[in-house]
Chains A and B, each alone.
Chain A
């Protein structure tokens, strides 16, 4: 046991700490505040404390726990709301009131609840780490698979009968070497260490998000990592919310890292009310929220992204596609900076610690589509979507740049578009996805064989538009030939009638892939036919007067049941008016 010798903000130094390990979890002071050792020097340790340090005094005790900072994995995690170090906020509220109190120790999962366990193995079976011993229906849509923890393998000596058990009750005994290991539904895992897997696979299945600009032009693959940088007000959070609501992952881990309390409240309020498009059940049934708002302790903010990704890996190992939304990774980086500066470390670029790049890389590398441990060879994935909040909206700053080095999808949010209320304000010229080619075969097989062709055609028009716009700025639109003015008209339609999508409109908020394809196809058909008509001598003014253009402008709002027919009618109308 050591004692405090210095307190400066969230950093505490303690003496008499020899024997403790780096990254060990410690209890600080009389109030037993949670902390983690981040530097050791002979007898003394520097500790980052996950709670407010006001009122702490030198001389108060510090005790080691012998364990690194870990999360508890087991049934009951889904539907929970945690802070950055996996403390359940709802239970804390019940116990200590509306404001966050300090030194509260509450188990992250309900230990009293009895779960329905169904064994899938029998006595005498040989098991290894990752093997499933039984199932527990965790929520209405997700089945928790009880796995043999890492490091255990051997013969099953005993297994519990089907029935109701708490998460701590013995479910299975495994003779592992000379020892008999006890397996329950829960296991611990240190958050800073990736959970092991057998193999990483190439991501080739797109993550369907129902957001047109993302699915069509800049797709994310399941097991991929994407960065969304953008200045304030460009819609990072709305985009993250949309993805959390609509993407077709099985499990969503939403990490609100150093963000607004009212926004987290919006998520907390909205998720339970929203229906999962696949199962029709509440979205909460597949979600975990981690809320560490900007005014909650900075060190817990640093831990929150690791907590999130570890939970995601746990469900990935069961064979689920999971998705982590981290909003925002800049706050995490700033937390690192704050702690590093209190440690008086030599700063790197813009005061960020020199280890910033490697920490970001380690984090994003935990994404992937994998074969998990266990005999079955289950495939599961963790996708990461990290929001970045660059100061002044300037993407040349270290967090954005180091993130882009690792992530393969870049969704660039643009202040100019946001100011014009073009949402999602994702810039189509600067964004990119390196998964486009990898997921193309799947899209061509499942949706339409012309998917890639259509995407490329539309992108060429948008590219061409930006070149023409420069000319228009100099000489005015009248100076352009009619063919090019038609192209400007078409590109405007792609921007306004396809790329813009209203997150708050009942129909438009989620756009299935076949519908995306058709919408774009209509605009491109119009382009093709109009160009032909133009070359036959039809004046452009006659084309732009066509009623079909107004119809296309409203196609986003067409209810699902009428869509097929109305789109086919529109294509017919184009052919009859122009063909």
Chain B
């Protein structure tokens, strides 16, 4: 490893610094920067040429000059020290201790970009994770190794929901090592406190590794925060056999940082100024969820993103939805009605649900119940729009039953307490209870045997 130091900074523009006259710079290598005032910053090579290197500076370029600033090329790509002692600790967005304690005892140093998992080495995620939340367990089931984002909006209770999932998530009937890796990018100190207090309250703090890049921390550092968090998660999962739940919030801030760098490099912008490679870049993070053949642990991801002006077609939720295995969408209207969690089940989806549910996994009637609730709720919602125009009197009895169903579905099934932990059986039984409102001949999505077994049984 040859360390080379240069003072030949020729240009500083936005988050970028250009160094001239450098030799044998490696693409992606780390640069330690010392400003005239003696402050140490870190950067990474984005463009390596024969005698020039473009470096992105994580801590912001304030204080850099073109005369005294020293750039030290480390000769290796960005790595982080990891170890089991990270559990219970709080780090900043670049992985340095933020809790005033000493650095951890490293067990390994790993490249933060990781390597793509060979598709043939993956185990298909099908272990049901019970979150205790009906709208997720019943309708959009989460599996170990899945990446299921929460699409939210400003002012919606996504943090409460994420904390509740982190608190309640378990695989029923198993006692295995679990851990949570929490990465906050550009979140406020208040939000960070909320999570910390919540974890403390439930005594889960010693199972949690926290990486915090707060709203007033350097923007560009956000680019590496999720990578560091995921590297840690992979290490805990594959080397220590833990089941790791990774919460990444807020991915919107991450994408903004990406756009900032792209703009500074004067790249051809894609939609809404976000770089054309944002899909690839996001996938490098999201695809790090999974399970591997022969390894005990798993990495499950719950990224949270706030949709600018609640627009699901905005590039950030759009590209995310194309990579992740479904999405949980929060709805402002439900929130206004005072329902918690305000999960809009219609646009929500879990792609891995089919394989994770059913006999021996959750319950034999799970698929049927969820399909039936979906279909009936969708019909009820359509009718609600119709009622607004023609009035309830114009409806047939059948339609009125669907309308009533959808109202009760929101109030009883979706709505639940912030500490209410429903088992999957409670959730499904709740679903059958609601189906009683509907005419039996309209229960087409559940087989006659199941109706016999679950609906009739309860009637007796």
Contact = CB atoms under 8 A, between A and B. Distances in A.
A92 interface: yes
Contacts of B46: 8
Given A59-B24, A295-B116, A477 B394 contact: yes
Contacts of B313: 391-394
A165 B25 CA distance: 49
Nearest to A393: B313
B87 to A, nearest CB: 24
Contacts of B118: 89, 92-93, 97-100
A532 interface: no
Interface string B343-361: 0001101011011000000
Contacts of B76: 55
Could you say which of B47, B123, B269, B283 has the most chain A C-beta atoms within 10 Å of its C-beta? B283
B293 A98 contact: yes
A391 B320 CA distance: 11
B120 A89 contact: yes
B100 to A, nearest CB: 34
B122 A476 contact: no
Given A53-B27, A341-B267, A351 B378 contact: no
Contacts of A351: 268-270, 276
A222 B346 CA distance: 36
A262 B27 contact: no
B49 A6 contact: yes
A6 B389 contact: no
Interface residues of B, number: 84
Given A98-B121, A268-B119, A260 B270 contact: no
A420 B390 contact: no
B116 A293 contact: yes
B26 A55 contact: yes
Nearest to A337: B276
Contacts of A232: 318, 321-322, 327
A6 B48 contact: yes
Contacts of A419: 346-347, 378
B396 interface: yes
Interface stretch (B183-191, B205-213, B284-292): B284-292
B97 to A, nearest CB: 27
B48 A58 contact: yes
A262 B290 contact: yes
A57 B50 CA distance: 8
Given A54-B77, A232-B318, A265-B124, A294 B283 contact: yes
Q: Which of B279, B321, B374, B389 has the largest count of A CB atoms less than 10 A from its CB?
A: B279
Contact of B447 (A266, A475, A557): A557
Contact of B279 (A98, A293, A331, A394): A331
B251 to A, nearest CB: 15
B292 A338 contact: no
B323 interface: yes
A317 interface: no
A291 interface: yes
Contacts of B351: 233, 237, 263
B394 A476 contact: yes
Contacts of A7: 27, 47-48
Contacts of B290: 261-262
A93 B115 contact: no
A279 interface: no
B271 A350 contact: yes
Contact of B119 (A293, A350, A557): A293
A281 B292 CA distance: 28
Contacts of A557: 447
Contact of A233 (B279, B349, B355, B374): B349
Given A298-B280, A421-B371, A262 B120 contact: no
A56 B26 contact: yes
A338 B290 CA distance: 26
B50 A478 contact: no
Nearest to A12: B27
A294 B323 contact: yes
B77 to A, nearest CB: 5
B29 interface: yes
B171 interface: no
Interface in A76-112: 81, 89-90, 92-93, 97-101
A534 interface: no
A57 B25 contact: yes
B396 A6 contact: no
B28 interface: yes
B48 A391 contact: no
A140 interface: no
B321 A261 contact: no
A542 to B, nearest CB: 15
Nearest to B78: A54
A81 B119 contact: yes
B197 interface: no
Given A100-B117, A261-B122, A263-B325, 5 more contacts: A57-B48, A58-B25, A99-B114, A233-B347, A475-B390
Closest 9 CB pairs of A and B: A392-B313, A294-B283, A476-B394, A232-B321, A99-B115, A476-B390, A54-B28, A295-B287, A265-B122
